[in-house]
Amino acid sequence: MAADLDVVNLFVIASATLAIPILAFVASFLLWPSALIKVYHWYWRRTLGLQVRYADCGGYRFCYSCRGKPGMRPSILLLHSFSAHKDMWLTVVKYLPKHLHILCVDMPGHEGTTRTNTEDYSIQGQVRRIRQFVEAIRLNRKPFHLVGTSMGGSVAGVYAACYPPDICSMTLICPDGIKHLSETKFDNHLQDLQYNQYTLNIPLIPTTPEEMEDMLKLCSHVRFKIPQQILQGLVDVRLPHNEFYEEVFMELISERSRYALQEHLHLISAPLQIIWGKQDQVVDVSGAAVIEGHVPGCRVDLLEGCGHSVVMEKPRRTAKLILEFIISKQNTSTTKKSS
């Protein structure tokens, strides 16, 4: 009888031990989905070997994640899109070799990087801040490969134009800042916003789960099935920052920032790769031809069945294309030196 009781007690203890994390997960999913999302990002950073670090520059702080050390291949600096953060690159980093030196930085004012004023949120202002970050961590001791998507693509392109010695090669993914040849669904939204003097909700700044779902549909050609609770969590994470996002958005569509990349294309000398989703509804894929016309010899990779969120929709393909481009340009450079 005593032995039977011991078995029962062990079973109860084991069940309780298993039940606690399960109940915690269910409670987080139902009550605090935003906390679950933060834990998810923490888990994947840890799994992929990324460490979160800070760089302080005279009262201004950058938050970034990194993996590896500088080696034979160039370091890779990744610049995220509007209202995102460094963790948006986790899906791509997953498919990049672990020996590469990779850095994902929070753009000015985003996530863990200091917020200041609109001057820093213009494309030129962001370029100056990113240069400050690069110098603070001495990343430009050796030319590095720069990657940027959407807003980050515009910043990356202008950075390469302003600081050519820092860059050995560059990848722009659906970059903003181009006078594309065809209107998109988002262009129509912008026209509605302008007509109504920006009193309507901005499609890229959702305030409800329904608006979040609409934003995901706008940015992605692939239809992801996301539970309502996760949509709510995504909204909850962003809501405290929406006023800041509105400030940045208005700066990005201002006269000094809207076509900043196009105005600097003629100054880009680094080898350039363009990756674009053919079904992009935010920045039309015709922008790739515009860039190609200004930067002869650039490599253009157009992805079928893919929208604006290339990093989320085609992470494995994106990582493969970036790596192929880096290796091909490095091999070309080595051949030229040896001859």
Catalytic residue among 87, 166, 176, 280: 280
The Cα–Cα gap between 45 and 277 comes to 26
Residue 79, beta-bridge partner list = 105, 148
Longest CA span, the chain: 87
Catalytic residue among 87, 110, 308, 309: 308
Catalytic residue among 150, 154, 220, 309: 150
Taking CA atoms, 301 is separated from 20, 287, 304, in Å, by 48, 12, 10
The Cα–Cα gap between 55 and 239 comes to 26
Tell me how many degrees the CA angle 83-231-210 measures, rounded to the nearest 5: 90
Looking at residue 211, its amino acid is E
Quote the tokens at residue 231.
């949509």
The Cα–Cα gap between 50 and 101 comes to 10
150 tagged catalytic:
yes
280 tagged catalytic:
yes
Catalytic residue numbers read: 150, 280, 308
